[in-house]
Amino acid sequence: MPQQVQAVIAPGKNEPVRVETIVIPDPGPGEAVVKIQACGVCHTDLHYKQGGINDEFPFLLGHEAAGVVESVGEGVTDVAPGDFVILNWRAVCGQCRACLRGRPWYCFDTHNAKQKMTLLDGTELSPALGIGAFAEKTLVASGQCTKVDPEVAPEVAGLLGCGVMAGIGAAINTGQVGRGDSVAVIGCGGVGDAAIAGSRLAGAAKIIAVDIDDRKLETARAMGATHTVNSRTSDPVEAIRALTDGNGADVVIEAVGRPETYEQAFYARDLAGTVVLVGVPTPDMKLELPLLDVFGRGGSLKSSWYGDCLPSRDFPMLVDLHQQGRLDLAAFVTETIGLGDVEEAFAKMHDGNVLRSVVVF
């Protein structure tokens, strides 16, 4: 029987979001209905509301979530009712050329639930990143559910579903930060701070945090930064070089998504170093670099999609490290809020005062 639940809808471009009753169909083949316990408020949700992703309104927002599987459809064997899961927005297919070559974290054909959730009048909803978890329950593809240790707090676990995973993965998976490396992270929001925490976890010797906001630099230090640079008041490239014997960092992670900060990252890395772009640019942005410098400085320039994570490998591992006290995921939760507080959380995000507001059910 289809169920009716409360959920946060973005009805139209720049219109305030509101809580409405939605209809969740029973899970079909390969699908699961998940009872959501917590869901973080991410910038991408705000971008959907602003019409910055596409025009397929109304959106069912929310995608950084954890909860318990309520029911599964035909043929689902990877998860079962009662499993505590983190939702991911890249359910790998196992069939595409990336998957077949043993690189499923790059999967080029990820999938979501086939059936649609709707408003009471039958209007089809577009779930944010194929999830839609500012809702008491949501419908996803079973591959979007990753089972983890149920002892972890849901508001902490859910964050691994997006921004925190992107940042940790940018350091560990994409940047391949190793013991003794020097790392610089440009932009210390939730993603940059997670890259800092990931670098610390990987054993980096020096972690330089760069931001234009001193409050962000303070938090970055708590996350594991050994040095901080305010790039509004000092040149970040010179500062990073000065902190690395004049050489530049082994790995520089760009977590803003702008050409000027990318250029800083490019020149702030050591010869043969690595630049990781995890910040997401907008379509109008252009980059101009001397090609000779691209060649002459060697190394690698990489992009990090969702931290190049493989949810089945990375989510349980990071939850376990958190449970062991080796990775403080709780530090990313600034506040817990109710389903009706998402609009207000967007405003706070804009002021730059929160790492994550998390809706708890």
Number of residues engaging ligand APR in binding (CB under 6 A): 24
Report how far residue 83's alpha carbon sits from residue 65's, in angstroms, rounded to the nearest whole number. Answer: 14
Tokens (6 digits) for 325:
């006290």
Q: Which residues partner with 233 through β-bridges?
A: none
Contact call for residues 39 and 158 (beta carbons, < 8 A): yes
Report how far residue 318's alpha carbon sits from residue 324's, in angstroms, rounded to the nearest whole number. Answer: 10
Q: Does 144 bind Zn ion (CB under 5 A)?
A: no
Q: Does 53 bind Zn ion (CB under 5 A)?
A: no
Q: Does 132 bind ligand APR (CB under 6 A)?
A: no
- Selected binder of ligand APR within 166, 168, 171, 329 (CB under 6 A): 166
- Selected binder of ligand APR within 23, 85, 278, 318 (CB under 6 A): 278
State phi, psi for 62 to the nearest 5 degrees. 95, 130
Question: Smallest gap, in angstroms, from Cβ of residue 47 to Zn ion?
Answer: 9
Q: Does 211 bind ligand APR (CB under 6 A)?
A: yes
Question: Smallest gap, in angstroms, from Cβ of residue 264 to ligand APR?
Answer: 7
Closer by beta carbon to Zn ion, 96 or else 201: 96
Question: Smallest gap, in angstroms, from Cβ of residue 193 to ligand APR?
Answer: 7
Q: Which of 324, 87, 348 is nearest to 79 (CA)?
A: 87
What residues contact residue 344 under an 8 Å CB cut-off, 6+ apart?
337
Q: Does 256 bind ligand APR (CB under 6 A)?
A: yes
Report how far residue 59's alpha carbon sits from residue 127's, in angstroms, rounded to the nearest whole number. Answer: 6
Closer by beta carbon to Zn ion, 101 or else 179: 101
Q: What is the dihedral of CA 26, 155, 39, 198, to 10 degrees?
A: -120
Q: Which residues partner with 263 through β-bridges?
A: none
Q: Does 253 bind ligand APR (CB under 6 A)?
A: no
Q: Does 198 bind ligand APR (CB under 6 A)?
A: no
Q: Does 42 bind Zn ion (CB under 5 A)?
A: yes
Q: Could you tell which of ligand APR, Zn ion, none binds residue 191, using a CB distance below 5 to 8 A set by kind?
A: ligand APR
Q: Does 210 bind ligand APR (CB under 6 A)?
A: yes
Q: Does 192 bind ligand APR (CB under 6 A)?
A: yes
Q: Does 10 bind Zn ion (CB under 5 A)?
A: no
Question: Smallest gap, in angstroms, from Cβ of residue 335 to Zn ion?
Answer: 17
Name the CA radius of gyration of the chain, rounded.
20
Q: What's the chain's length in residues?
A: 361
Contact call for residues 88 and 156 (beta carbons, < 8 A): no
- Selected binder of Zn ion within 7, 30, 44, 204 (CB under 5 A): 44
Question: Smallest gap, in angstroms, from Cβ of residue 216 to ligand APR?
Answer: 4
Report how far residue 229's alpha carbon sits from residue 184's, in angstroms, rounded to the nearest whole number. Answer: 10
Number of neighbours of residue 294 by Cβ within 10 angstroms: 12
Largest Cα–Cα distance of the chain, in whole Å?
Answer: 66
Question: Smallest gap, in angstroms, from Cβ of residue 280 to ligand APR?
Answer: 4
Question: Smallest gap, in angstroms, from Cβ of residue 173 to ligand APR?
Answer: 15
Q: Which residues bind ligand APR (CB under 6 A)?
A: 43, 163, 166, 186-192, 210-213, 216, 231, 255-257, 261, 278-280, 352
